[in-house]
Homo-oligomer: A and B are copies of this chain.
């Protein structure tokens, strides 16, 4: 077990690390990278720094792991849909629906990932982790590319408005991802409530790029 601590990318999810990542995501979500202290994460775990630094060599590495966890989860679920059955509009709608749902179900991790690297890091630790940084940005780009390709299909098929796919992706993602800014999970909120929100957002996003009339 614990096959690699050297490569922060694509690590096999050690159980202990997973627990740390989840706790870290909650605190990062609340305070952001810079304002989050390792002690605060440890406290949420009911432990001390020692535990965290046993598995992670720096705060940045821990933060990266949250990002990776988020992107892998999304890609793992959405890619099959993109490559599945249905025309571009049907696939895109299913992707958007699932995407929005994951954001809400997995809020801490996903919110941190959506806020993204935001120069906060490039500025803070700079060139130190430049390589890791690049590979995470790559993960994001690859994920966006999945959507861009389906959108491109739709445009070619005449289903969607004629825009550069990469540009059309932006407001589409915007309508969905923006929920990480305003959505606050309420107690008493059922899975159906989440599904309702996801459908609403997906509806707006889809109409935004669909061409012509629909009901």
Output the residue of A118, A179, A209 with the most chain B CB within 10 A: A118
User: Are A177 and B178 CB-contacts (below 8 A) given A208-B204, A208-B205?
Assistant: yes
Is A32 a contact partner of B118 (Cβ separation < 8 A)?
yes
**Identical chains bound together, number:** 2
Counting contact residues on chain A (CB < 8 A from B), the size range is 35 or more
Rounded to whole Å, the gap between the CB of A98 and the closest CB of chain B is 16
Q: A84 near B: Cβ within 8 Å?
A: no
Rounded to whole Å, the gap between the CB of A49 and the closest CB of chain B is 19
Is A182 a contact partner of B170 (Cβ separation < 8 A)?
yes
Is A170 a contact partner of B174 (Cβ separation < 8 A)?
no
Rounded to whole Å, the gap between the CB of A132 and the closest CB of chain B is 18
User: Are A35 and B171 CB-contacts (below 8 A) given A205-B208, A208-B205?
Assistant: no
Q: A50 near B: Cβ within 8 Å?
A: no
Rounded to whole Å, the gap between the CB of A58 and the closest CB of chain B is 15
Q: A47 near B: Cβ within 8 Å?
A: no
